[in-house]
Amino acid sequence: MATSNFVDYVKIYCRSGNGGAGSAHFRKEKFIEFGGPDGGNGGRGGHIILKANPQLWTLLHLKYRKHIFAEHGENGSGALKSGSNGKDRIIEVPLGTIAKNPETGEVYCEITEEGQEYILFPGGKGGLGNNEFKSSTNRAPRYAQPGLEGIEAPVILELKLLADVGLVGFPNAGKSTLLSVVSAAKPEIADYPFTTLVPNLVIVSYRDHRSFVMADIPGIIEGAAQGRGLGHRFLRHIERNSILLFMIPADTDNINKEYKILLNELNMYNPELVDKGRLLAITKSDLLDEELMELLKTDLHEGIEIVFISSVTNSNIDKLKDIIWRKINE
């Protein structure tokens, strides 16, 4: 886990720039004894800005950047010269990133659209020069404003994958095998628990050059909502999926019981997940005959569409795609 290139959680200490001070300067020219105030304004401090980058899919590039500081604004000067604004610091993040307060859990923003920008911590405002304070009753103000300080604070950046379909199942349910069949992905596949240790996003080609995005979420175990196994670390990735594809192998002792356990874990983690569109795929169906399939259908949970598939023989894979496409567009 420590060496994985998939990073979905970082904590960074940020500081936006201080505003520059305004100038309390007076015009000084030969033969002009009483030059008026000509102090310029201070520049704004640099912002800390989050910016969506659709080319990124992980927070790996921020893993070792513990401090991000923006530049301070420059002070104003005479001849009505305003100070330059401090340079903004732009933090590029993948779509699906949320920024939140590490102490209160308050969510500052969610980056979900290409080109989206959000000023996370604004820079301090520059102070006004003495020229801004002159009036008919005060023609020679000898004061100017200091610049306002920027904001220093830690922030947590957390990634939740954006996908049309999220795969939900216990370890070894056949999720990675399905991905290898419906896409060009080559996930690690082996017959032991937690083969998949990081979420995988793949593009699945559909009819007429259309496509949808599928996310392989690492296997859930009973108690995941309380943090057991991979727990909360990967359950959050399911929150952003349009529909959920539950996957249970045909050789499971009790398919209905396993489905209810999976559903209960999602409900305990976030009850809103239960309201998402759901589909149940019985994998390894090449082990079943038609009579056994019909028998299983009568025992399975009512109210959810069921499809028997086999990634080994490609049985009903196209049918599965058709159902997924219909549910995505309902």
pLDDT digits (tens, 9 = 90+) for 190-208: 444 444 456 777 888 888 8
Q: What is the pLDDT of residues 168-188, one digit of tens each?
A: 888 777 777 888 888 765 544
Long-range CB contacts (within 8 A, 24+) of 133-140: 133/37, 134/36, 134/37, 139/36, 140/26, 140/34, 140/36, 140/37
Picking from 89, 86, 92, 114, the residue whose alpha carbon sits closest to that of residue 19 is 86
The residues pairing with 153 across neighbouring beta strands, listed in sequence order, are 14
Q: What distance lies between CA 247 and its chain's CA centroid?
A: 25
Query: Per mean pLDDT, which of 139-148, 230-239, 286-295 is the most reliable?
Result: 139-148
Q: What is the pTM of this model?
A: 0.73
What span, in angstroms and rounded, lies between the C-alpha atoms of 268 and 262? 10
In order of their start, the domains of the chain are 1-159 (2.70.210.12), 165-328 (3.40.50.300)
